[in-house]
Amino acid sequence: MSSGKINPYEVARKQIDIASKYLNVESGLLERLKHTKREVIVHFPVKMDSGEVRIFTGYRVQHDVSRGPAKGGIRYHPDVDLDEVRALAMWMTWKSAVVNIPFGGAKGGVQCNPKEMSIRELENITRRFTWEISIILGPEQDIPAPDVYTNPQVMAWIMDTFSILKGYSVPGVVTGKPIELGGSLGRYEATGRGVVITSLEALKYMKKPVEGAKVVIQGCGNVGGIAAKHFDRLGAKVIAISDSRGGLYNENGLDIKRILDCKSQYQCLICEKEEEEITNEELLELECDILVPAALENQITEKNASRIRAKIIAEGANGPTTPEADEILNDKGVFIIPDILANAGGVTVSYFEWVQNLQELIWSEEEVLERLTRIMQRSFREVLEISLAKKIPMRTAALVLGIGRVAEAIRLRGIYP
Ligand code: NAD
């Protein structure tokens, strides 16, 4: 899996250099965009179930707020570090701009292994981390959301802790909350649906039907699992899916409903006799129409890119492909729907949730889905148009669109003083 040597922040900065060739933006401004705006690092104690006190390290990084409040998920993972969070925050800035919603970019994370913790320990970590970073959070300042190994329950604890500090309920401080606490209908499924909507647009552009299309998905969580469900419903054949322990493969198509039920009940994938077990490395190299990396960064690198046999890569995960791998895939003619476009459904419906919270309104699921589809299709079209007009890959085109919008916002606001 991850080589452990590739620094996502360096990748994210390199992407700015690549896109800058097609942007008419002053070099000082580009340099500003290569830096984050604000970084908070906290070390905090948590009392574990054993009575022992352990110290955890957490981060909240705001990359840019020129177009609106900082927005981005919180990740719980043993490998979280400052540079990873910086890169993820930067990608959030471009992503919000690509889908043209009025948010900036942020990200957060706590270095921990949630698989080894009880619910109570997770709650204690979440509440203390929220308290530590609360000085920069708020519906007008910085709004967290779920990411790897965090979920609506974690968002509920963040919202409750922040509300206790304020003395009144502040639902707009997080998105991806449970519906009962002001979460939006359709938010839980939004990222996976967005991956499917943009994949459908790519298939349409390539004049290929979705029925029977072979789909391979790495990661079986919020993004990968939901994408699998919707591809399956649309008549595509999901031939492989994995989690952190490895994957299942059946060239005739997997029984996705059974696999997802099993994953939610037992937190693992269980192999049946018609299926084959495969490693995450093997899964990425399967021949397919659509490959959806939906786990972590740096999965497709210069080491395995030449062996990728997908026609389309729809990046559910953030940063799954390195710039070196991009070059190899572009030469092979693989159509890449880049992360800042493909997985932007999550931040889009997070924006809807925030709007509903501020206005104290509740939209129907149909309304959410209809607006999400419209925004994802429009954004895909805008990126594709730039890609075709400038003869550049889809990732560069998306960066040109996103960075261009952010740079223009900064130019219009001016540099203070
Ligand atoms: P999740 O915690 O719900 O699921 C993560 C999945 O990845 C799990 O199935 C896990 O088993 C698997 N996984 C973990 N390590 C792995 C490894 N080394 N190899 C293979 N699989 C592994 O997280 P998620 O919310 O689905 O996030 C997945 C990716 O999508 C991340 O890159 C995240 O930043 C990105 N993303 C998420 C959202 C969102 O709304 N949740 C939005 C945009 C982007």
What's the CATH number where 98 sits?
Answer: 3.40.50.10860
- How far, in Å, is the centroid of ligand 1 from the Cα of 357? 26
Separation of CA 150 and ligand 1 centre (Å) = 10
Residues 156 and 273 occupy one common structural domain: no
pLDDT at res. 376? 98
Q: Where are the beta strands (DSSP E) in 65-102?
A: 70-77
107 is catalytic: yes
Asked, for residue 132, whether it belongs to a domain, the answer is yes
Domain housing 253: 190-341
Domain assignment of residue 369, yes or no: no
pLDDT class of 4 with cuts at 50, 70, 90: low
Residue 82 lies in a domain: yes
* 292 and 257 co-located in one domain: yes
Which atom in ligand 1 lies closest to the alpha carbon of residue 176? 40
Q: How many domains does the chain have?
A: 2
Whole-angstrom distance, CA of residue 165 vs CA of residue 53: 23
Q: Whose C-alpha lies nearest to ligand 1, atom 20?
A: 244
133 and 221 housed in the same domain: no
Closest atom, ligand 1, to C-alpha of 346:
40
Burial of 408 (0-12, 13-18, 19+ CB in 10 A): middle
What's the pLDDT at 2?
A: 44
Q: What pLDDT is recorded for position 3?
A: 45
Identify whether residues 83 and 132 lie together within a single domain: yes
Q: Which of 142, 171, 200 is the last residue of a domain?
A: 171
Is 203 part of any domain? yes
Nearest CA to 57 out of 41, 73, 46 is that of 41
Cα–Cα distance between 299 and 296 in angstroms, integer? 7
Mark out the alpha helices in 267-364 (DSSP H runs): 280-284, 323-332, 339-342, 345-359
Same domain as 195, residue 166: no
Nearest-CA residue for ligand 1 atom 35 is: 317
Residues 204 and 330 in one domain: yes
Atom 4 of ligand 1, nearest CA residue: 221
DSSP conformation class of 190? H
pLDDT tens digits for range 31-62? 999 999 999 999 999 999 999 999 999 999 99
347 part of a folded domain = no
- Cα angle, residue 179 at apex, residues 175 and 181 outer, rounded to 5°: 75
Cα of 296 to ligand 1 centre, how many Å? 6
Q: What atom of ligand 1 comes closest to residue 339's alpha carbon?
A: 44
**What is the value of pTM for the model shown?**
0.97
pLDDT, one tens digit per residue, over 344-376 is: 999 999 999 999 999 999 999 999 999 999 999
Looking at the structure, tell me whether residues 147 and 217 fall in a common domain: no
397 lies in some domain: no
Nearest-angstrom CA–CA distance, 199 and 37: 33
Residues with CB under 6 A from ligand 1: 1, 146-149, 191, 218-224, 242-244, 280, 294-296, 316-318, 343, 346
140 and 212 share a domain? no
109 and 250 inside one domain: no
- Of the residues 341, 371, 403, the one at which a domain ends: 341
**For position 262, which CATH number holds?**
3.40.50.720
Q: Whose CA is nearest to atom 13 of ligand 1?
A: 244
Ligand 1 test: best mutation among 103, 147, 277, most atoms within 8 Å of CB? 147
Expressed in angstroms and rounded, the spacing between residue 267 Cα and the centre of ligand 1 is 14
Q: pLDDT tens-digit profile of 200-245?
A: 999 999 999 999 999 999 999 999 999 999 999 999 999 999 999 9
**98 shares a domain with 128:** yes
Of the three residues 341, 369, 386, the one that is the final residue of a domain is: 341
Q: Which of 107, 214, 229, 237 is catalytic?
A: 107
Q: From residue 335, how far is each of 45, 202, 322 by CA, in Å?
A: 46, 8, 15
Residues 214 and 96 in one domain: no
- Convert the pLDDT of each residue in 130-166 to its tens digit: 999 999 999 999 999 999 999 999 999 999 999 999 9
Tell me which residue of 236, 147, 209, 202 sits closest to 376, measured CA to CA.
202
- Report which protein residue has its CA nearest ligand 1's atom 37: 147
- 363 part of a folded domain: no
The reply to whether 322 falls in a domain is: yes
Do 239 and 162 fall into the same domain? Answer: no
